Amino acid sequence: MSLSGIGNSSVTDLYTLEAEKKENAASKNDTSKAEETVKNENKNENSAAVYDKRELSADDRKAIVAQLKADQEKRQSQLTDLVHNMLNTQTNTFGQANNIWQFLAKGEYTVDAETQKKAQEAISEDGYWGVKQTSDRIVSFATSLAGNDSKQLEKMRDAFLKGYEKAEKTWGGKLPEISKKTYDAVLEKFDKLMNPKTEDKAPEKDTVTTTEDGTVVAK
């Protein structure tokens, strides 16, 4: 566009007009972007609302049940493995304490005095591998997995029995007496957890009555 013959005032007005056009265009563009953003946000919110409120399909429910079952089986397997490993260590410690390895290994294996002494301390009444501490650790692990749910505790009890049987197979027969006592202690603790003792009934309060002749009697 030629500016010849146009006054300074007209030129200024022309530039002002062009600037206003650009500003209006930019403003319109920003408004369109803002509206688009709001639409997208509303669309996302509506989509989320629909997703949150939808009913689970049969396949979804099957998947959830399968996952819960897998989690339960994993916890039971963990306890079974724990019991197996703990009882193996307990029996090995018992063997060292009583130097029975020499007999089992046909005289080819002996336990030095220091190892034997430590093993004897470990399987003592208050020892780490004694009946009390070993049974406490087993039950503590079981309750951490099952909580106070009696049905879950029953499954953990079964897992313990499987672990004990597994330890017997590894040992090659019946486990030593210390492990049998541990077995009894664990089952007793499970029984107490699953069948808590009911509170004793509160004694009846004394009642006072008056006989026909006016005698006060307390019962």
| Token pair in block for residue 69 | 């079952």
pLDDT of residue 179: 96
pLDDT tens digits, one per residue of 137-167? 999 999 999 988 889 999 999 999 999 999 9
Q: How confident is the model at residue 45 (pLDDT cuts 50, 70, 90)?
A: very low
pTM over 0.85: no
pLDDT of residue 6: 40
| Token pair in block for residue 41 | 């946000």
% the chain with pLDDT above 90? 37
Segment among 5-19, 123-137, 189-203 with least mean pLDDT: 5-19
pLDDT of residue 209: 56
Between CA 120 and CA 97 the distance in angstroms is 5
Rg (CA), the chain: 40
Sign of CA dihedral 20, 26, 29, 35: negative
- The DSSP secondary-structure symbol of 55 reads P
Beta-ladder partners of 217? 209
Segment among 11-20, 104-113, 167-176 with least mean pLDDT: 11-20
Between CA 91 and CA 179 the distance in angstroms is 7
pLDDT of residue 120: 92
